Amino acid sequence: MIVCFDIGGTAIKGALATSPEDIRPFPRQPTPIHDFDAFVATLASVITEAEALAGERPACIAISIAGVIDPDTANAVVANIPCIHGRPLQAELEAALGLPVIVANDADCFVLAEAGIGAARGHRVVFGVILGTGVGGGLVIDGKLINESGFAGEWGHGPIQPTQAGTPPMHVPRFHCGCGQVGCIDAICSARGLEKLHKHIHAEQLTSEEIIADWLKGDAKAERTIDVYVDILTDALSMVVNVTGTTILPVGGGLSNVPELLTRIDKALRSRILRKFAHPIVVPAACRVEPGLVGAAILGLDFAKDHKED
């Protein structure tokens, strides 16, 4: 038995897990974003509840967070939870809770969930894609997360955005990205990036929801925006497919809720990659509820299995 957490800036979701298919969530609790002692106490309360329910001590704690653990310093980089940002989170939690702790990025947990029990089940190489507030991803091979650096799978970052895109081609500016670079895919293919792109093309400020709704109704302006957007997105994503050899790309995030958009992305992507697939490879995620908990559970259960005493 392990205890897993999906921790965001608003809520902490905890669960007891005995297998990827047997995850029993507890009521979510507010995240104490400014008080580390209260943060630890919240985790401890869930662990105590899990122990009472299971009648045993968990083998470990596995955590999904919207951030990363810097591989060089072991410090957490979690901007939306100041009380853990910059701390050696794993070591401090292990000391406070008296249990082994695994911490992973939420996008990595997402792709683990999809590879384990979701849309990518049965595939050896899986690249999960996040299209929402940000552009992210993660890579799983043979059921194992590939992320020794702590930053693997972050295809949304890097100054690779083209300055010509769409049919016919048009000039596209390279936007500043939150990571500090200019020209990242995250800056133009996230939901906010889509809005900036539409404003550049049409001098019209709409939300991503409004742009998508207009596009689905056949609006010519929205169609032009989506044409340019998909061109930029699939150029970058084609390199991901060719480099990793993935045979499926489950997609999560807010933009994944538009089947027509995923179909458009899939068709464009399959025309740009070396291996030719006769079936869609860009697919909606199947783990629509609590993928962070599922992915964290898989990590924790694998750890428990590997460290089980004979």
Domain identity same for 253 and 141: yes
Q: What is the C-alpha R_g of the chain?
A: 20
- Are both 99 and 152 inside the same structural domain? no
| pTM exceeds 0.75 for this model | yes
On whether both 279 and 201 belong to a single domain, the answer is yes
Cβ contacts of 148-154, under 8 Å, gap ≥ 24: 148/71, 149/71, 150/68, 150/69, 150/70, 150/71, 150/105, 151/68, 151/71, 153/107, 153/108, 153/111, 153/127, 153/128
Same domain, 129 and 12: no
* Residue 114 domain-assigned (yes or no): no
Q: How far apart are CA 257 and CA 49, in angstroms?
A: 35
50 falls within a domain? yes
Give Cα 114 to chain centroid, integer Å. Answer: 11
Residue 22 and residue 55 share a domain: yes
The tokens for 75 are 């410090």
Q: Which two tokens stand for residue 165?
A: 């895109």
| Number of domains, the chain | 2
Q: Residues 98, 173: one domain? A: no
Domain of residue 229, CATH code: 3.30.420.40
Q: Is residue 19 in a domain? A: yes
Residue 79 shares a structural domain with residue 162: no
pLDDT in tens, the chain (310 residues): 999 999 988 899 999 999 988 999 999 999 999 999 999 999 999 999 999 999 999 999 999 998 888 888 889 988 889 999 999 999 999 999 999 999 998 899 999 999 999 999 999 999 999 999 899 999 999 999 998 667 888 999 999 999 999 999 999 999 999 888 999 999 999 999 999 999 999 999 999 999 999 999 999 999 999 999 999 999 999 999 999 999 999 999 999 999 999 999 999 999 999 999 999 999 999 987 788 899 999 999 999 888 775 4
pLDDT of residue 310: 46
Q: Is 132 found in the same domain as 104? A: no
E strands in the chain: 2-7, 11-19, 22-25, 29-30, 61-65, 68-69, 76-77, 101-105, 125-131, 135-141, 144-145, 164-165, 170-171, 249-252, 282-284
Q: Is 116 a member of any domain?
A: no
The pairs formed by 169-176 with CB atoms below 8 angstroms and a separation of 24 or more are: 170/201, 170/228, 172/197, 172/200, 172/228, 172/232, 173/200
Is 113 a domain residue? Answer: no
In a domain, 61, yes or no: yes
Q: Residue 87: what pLDDT?
A: 93
Paired with 30 in beta bridges are 11
Alpha-carbon distance 115 to 157, whole Å?
Answer: 23
101 and 158 in a common domain: no
Domain that holds residue 45: 2-108+289-306
Round to whole Å and give the CA distance between 163 and 180: 19
Decide if 304 contacts 2 (C-beta within 8 A): yes
And the tokens for 28?
A: 């979510």
Residue among 137, 183, 179, 178 at smallest CA distance from 160: 183
Same domain, 13 and 94: yes
